[in-house]
Amino acid sequence: MKVYTRPPDGTRIEWALGAIIGSGKEGDVYLVKEDPTLCAKIYREPRADLREHLGALMNLDAAQWYIREERHLEVALPVEVGEDADGQAIGFFMNTLSDRHLLTRDLFSAAVRAKKPSLNWGCHVAIAADLARMVVKLHAAGILVGDLALDNLAVTPSGRVVLLDCDSFVIRSSAGKFGGTTWRQDNSPPEGGSGRHTRQTDFFSLAVVICQLLLEEFHPFFGIDVSIDSDDERGPAVNIARGRSWLFCPDIRIPARYPDPNLLPAPLRDLVRTAFEKGAKDPAARPTAQAWFQGLARIARGLRHCGISPQHVFFAEEWDWCPWCMRKYLQGGQDPFPAPQFAPATPAWLLTLPSPSSQHCHDRDQVGTRSEHGYTWAGLQEIYDADGSVTGTATAVVKGGLRISLGERGFLPASLVNIGSAGDLKAYIGQEITAKIIHMDEAHRSVVLSRKAWLEENAPLPDERPPPHSPLQAGQIVRGRVTELRPYAAVVDVGGVEGMLHLKELSRNRISHPGEVVRVGQEISAKVLWVSADHDLAELSLTATQEDPVAEFASTHVPGEIVSGRVKNLQHYGAFVDLGGVDGMIHISELSWEDVGHPGEVVTVGDQVMVRILDIEVERRRIRLSLRLT
């Protein structure tokens, strides 16, 4: 493929393009055969104002975006406009990255991490902070980022960021305003797509990318929202519009491989919730890039290394034990940050990792002393090496589990308290707990325990066990007893198998808590939807054993009929009305002949209303109503 440039002297230079090194929504990036220091982005459908937009970018002061002492270019600016044989602008040339740069996606590659041990979680914090700093700097220069996404970034091992797709920048020049045509469904705020780029849309995309950087690339809006009845209305775009993320909404179902939301430190979780939940309704409420930078800088100053793996770095204010060691254990030994053969460097420009505080350090002479339970550190080490067990008292509920008194600091994660659900952790306070040691951190003198492993090891022998129940199968109707109510599901004991009844399987109407339908101790019949391979976990449905109220409603009512109902719930897109055991929805456009910004302007929860039936869709379980046509 041939591309041409036109230097200031007016001559045309022909360039031959080589292999494709990157592809995007708008075009492809090629190596330039004649000059390995250059690459070219060629658009599939060039915009009419492309030349003017590229000209405005090339007029930026390159020195402003270059950190001289680190020889670091912050923005991959265009250096020449690329033309076709007819002289039409079809792309641009830019400098290639050096060998020390990584594409951001490579941060999450185990092979890359093994070669570059400085890429620990502390480096990810530094990268996120530098990205926030860059957004602050661009906004101060009157530039909007536009297409801010993980794959539009490159990084250095010291935590510096390079913005690659600067052609998405929204920039003003003497010739006008250019850019702002690209939107990504999974990175765009609720007002994106049809609207224009603003600082608030940049703040939303920044929050998404920061979550991905700090949570092993997992997207904050992926997952299945079980509070939504229809599969057609689920997905990242719907979660974004509703301001619901698995980071703070427990009823969003995610795969087991997803990390614990608590891996994100509390100061950042507060920013995330404000950006996504409040920001869905009020874009002005989203934290600014400056707020993100300050929050990340605070986290960076509070980081420390794990005593077992020098590659494990975590926020010391929240964790007294290493969460990455625990994640490694829960993933069957798969270490998210594998230990290198030498101690990693840390981003000196941002991170100052303190030595373990005095409260976590003990004099070596104390190793031989006895504790209140008779355990010394050396004794605990012997028990650990011999795969034995220890007994201690549960003294407090802490983040993620229980504090166990062993003389040394013991921690029992909530997921390892019991073989099934642990229930209310407060019930264990004061009890003697026998557990296996699964991790010891000598530097911080902490011990991680598993009561679940001890229970499994000490289960009755085969000839002592009661006769096994017949394995559950999908489609069966079974009896069980409700043992626990969680915010998003009821837990049911089905002959020793833990069954989960999610909200949408408890009632065909919208409910906010399982307690609206069932209570602890209640015996119920439910249909088995899914059973795990080892038959210790099942998903159940109560609604599958009941008559469909929408079908019953359809048998006695017809479209056009006016019926009475009570307003049950308000959403930004409409109002839900209880029609006597079945819910119908009045879309916001059917509330009034006037423009309505929110359903609360017309009705309130509890109002008795007369509504006209527009449509009854039994298969999709929908009843569409109108208030303005009554």
Structure token pair of residue 549: 């109220």
Specify the pLDDT at position 342: 42
Structure token pair of residue 566: 């009570």
Dist CA 48 CA 43 (whole Å): 12
Specify the pLDDT at position 444: 66
CA 470 to chain centre: 38
Q: How many CB atoms lie within 10 A of CB 238?
A: 15
Dist CA 91 CA 85 (whole Å): 13
CA 67 to chain centre: 32
315 located within any domain:
no
Specify the pLDDT at position 421: 61
CATH of the domain at 59: 3.30.200.20
3-state secondary structure 443-512: CCCEEEEEHHHHHHHCCCCHHHCCCCCCCCCCCCEEEEEEEEECCCEEEEEECCEEEEEEHHHHCCCCCC
Is 488 found in the same domain as 453? no
CA angle, 483 then 225 then 212, to 5°: 110
H or E, element range at 531:
strand 523-531
198 and 146 in contact (C-beta within 8 Å)? no
Is 239 found in the same domain as 292? yes
Give the range of the structural domain holding residue 438, as residue numbers without chain letter. 358-457
210 located within any domain:
yes
Is 74 found in the same domain as 177? no
Structure token pair of residue 429: 């306070």
Is 280 found in the same domain as 153? yes
Specify the pLDDT at position 344: 40
Specify the pLDDT at position 472: 79
321 located within any domain:
no
278 located within any domain:
yes
Is 491 found in the same domain as 411? no
**How many angstroms separate the Cα of 278 from the Cα of each of 203, 204, 303, 488, 513?**
13, 11, 29, 21, 22
Is 278 found in the same domain as 136? yes
620 located within any domain:
yes
CATH of the domain at 206: 1.10.510.10
Is 27 found in the same domain as 60? yes
Is 277 found in the same domain as 197? yes
pLDDT per residue as tens digits for the range 303-348: 888 777 778 888 888 877 788 888 887 777 788 887 654 434 344 4
Domain count, the chain: 5
Is 192 found in the same domain as 167? yes
Structure token pair of residue 220: 């904050």
Structure token pair of residue 256: 């087991």
Instruction: Give the residue from 620, 549, 618, 621 showing the smallest Cα distance to 580.
Output: 549
Q: Are strands 446-450 and 409-413 parallel, antiparallel or unpaired?
A: parallel
Specify the pLDDT at position 464: 42
CATH of the domain at 385: 2.40.50.140
Instruction: Give the residue from 381, 373, 436 showing the smallest Cα distance to 405.
Output: 373
Specify the pLDDT at position 420: 62
φ, ψ of residue 250 in degrees (nearest 5): -70, -15
Is 364 found in the same domain as 436? yes
This prediction has a pTM of: 0.60
CA angle, 443 then 449 then 453, to 5°: 145
Sites in the chain below the pLDDT cut of 50? 341-373, 461-469
Residue 619 Rama label (left phi>0; alpha psi -120 to 50; beta): alpha
CA 468 to chain centre: 40
Is 140 found in the same domain as 59? no
353 located within any domain:
no
Last residue in a domain, options 482, 516, 545: 545
Dist CA 406 CA 377 (whole Å): 10
- For residue 325, the number of C-alpha atoms closer than 13 Å in the C-beta half-sphere is 23
Last residue in a domain, options 95, 126, 150: 95
Last residue in a domain, options 545, 569, 585: 545
294 and 208 in contact (C-beta within 8 Å)? no
Instruction: Give the residue from 329, 302, 294 showing the smallest Cα distance to 318.
Output: 302
344 located within any domain:
no
337 located within any domain:
no
Is 268 found in the same domain as 130? yes
Dist CA 268 CA 266 (whole Å): 5
